[in-house]
Amino acid sequence: MMRVRSIFLAGVVAVAGFAGTLPSSVMAAGDGVKAKSVDWSFYGPFGTFDRAQIKRGWKVYAKVCASCHGLKHVYYRHLLTIGIEPKAMKEMMTSRKMPMIDDAGDAVTRAAKLGDPITAPFANDVAAAKANNGKAPPDLSLIVKARGGGANYIYSLLTGYVTAAACEKEYKGSDGKPLKPESGQSCNTYFPGHIIAMAPPLASEGQVDYDEKGAPKATVSQMAMDVTAFLAWAAEPELEDRKRMGLRVMLFLLILTGLFFVIYRQVWRRVKH
């Protein structure tokens, strides 16, 4: 009896302790607007990435987002592991120049190789900000992990743009006046503060060719979902390995612990305590 109560109490203390972290992670989501919730294939203890979706997502990234955002922690070779073929990277690898020193000792550039990171298209952050209404587009390699709400937030952001008129009607700035996006700015329901320096990157159906067999229609929502899934892979390429190993480890530990328990009871059988 005493023992059962002890275990229960230990559980309560542990849960209460962890629950203490909840407010902070909830708080981090954009300005209190709850993100849309998507039933991602990679959620849950057995979740995996949908290969076809990741490939479409790469297409969206390469065609649309890459003109502003880098993906520097991901190397071209990493894309091979998820089934993206070299020919699908070709265009970007030839256009993204990498610096090198040639045989004459001159600083020149060359096309990217498989062993190179997917760099940003700008020389540096200042140039990036200059070209983008004063805000440098952040590197997207970790964006899904770096935002409260994760993939749901990114998807909501990409599909959460509203018109300037709706913005003025719906949202107020910190000064209490209606929010008005200035030239080069846009209004987004999910972005903290709502005024964002990124114009809606996905704006029209069919913006990216989904020409694979059995591919869904390239609606804005579909493209947003696909590129978000791709970015989720980019942020956590180990996810499938991790969950697969996790299942084995948990089963092993469960059996081991059960065994220890049986031995424990056996050893203690004769002890009156």
Partner 1 sequence: MSANAGHGAPQGTPRGRTANWIERRLPVFSTMEHFSQYPTPKNLNYWWNFGSIAGFVLVAMIVTGIVLAMHYTPHVDHAFNSVERIMRDVNYGWLIRYLHANGGAMFFLVVYIHLFRGLYYGSYKAPREIIWWLGIIILLLMMATAFMGYVLPWGQMSFWAAKVITNLFSAIPWVGESITTWLWGGFTVDNPTLNRFFSLHYLLPFVIVGVVVLHIAALHTVKSGNPLGVEAKTPKDTIPFHPYYTVKDLFGLGVFMLVWAFFVFYAPNFMGHPDNYIPADSLATPAHIVPEWYFLPYYAILRAFTADFFMYWPISWLITAKFAGVIAMFGSLLILFLMPWLDTSEVRSSRFRPIYKIFFWVFVIDTIILGYVGANAPDEVAHIALLGLFDFSTGLTWLTIGEITTFWYFFHFIILVPVIGRMERPRPLPHSISEPVLGGGAVGGGAAAQSRPGPMEKA
Residues near ligand HEC (CB under 6 A)? 60, 64-65, 67-69, 132, 135, 137-138, 143, 147, 154, 157-158, 191, 196-198, 201-202, 227
Piece in contact with partner 1 (CB under 8 A), picked from 50-58, 84-92, 134-142, 175-183: 134-142
Residues 6+ apart with CB under 8 A from 84: 54, 55, 58
Choose the contact partner of 92 out of partner 1, ligand HEC, none; CB within 5 to 8 A by kind. none
Q: With respect to partner 1, which residue has the nearer C-beta, 111 or 254?
A: 254
Closest CA to 159 of 93, 222, 76: 222
Between strands 161-162 and 186-188, the pairing is antiparallel
Q: How far is CA 23 from the centre of its chain?
A: 21
Sign, CA torsion 14/17/19/24: negative
Residue 40 three-state SS = coil
Q: How far is the CB of 208 from partner 1 (least distance, A)?
A: 26
- Interface with partner 1 (CB under 8 A), residue from 114, 126, 146, 199: 146
- 78 touches partner 1 (CB under 8 A): yes
* Cα–Cα dist 64/56, whole Å: 12
- 132 touches partner 1 (CB under 8 A): no
- 101 touches partner 1 (CB under 8 A): no
Using a 10 angstrom Cβ sphere, with 0-12 exposed, 13-18 middle and 19 or more buried, the burial of residue 137 is: buried
Choose the contact partner of 67 out of ligand HEC, partner 1, none; CB within 5 to 8 A by kind. ligand HEC
Say if CB 195 and CB 185 are below 8 A apart: yes
Choose the contact partner of 227 out of partner 1, ligand HEC, none; CB within 5 to 8 A by kind. ligand HEC
- 260 touches partner 1 (CB under 8 A): yes
Rg (CA), the chain: 25
Q: What is the binding site for partner 1 (CB under 8 A)?
A: 2-3, 6-7, 10, 13-14, 16-25, 27-28, 45, 73-74, 78, 138, 141-142, 145-148, 150, 192, 235, 237-238, 241-243, 245-247, 249-250, 253-254, 256-257, 260-261, 263-264, 267-268, 271-273
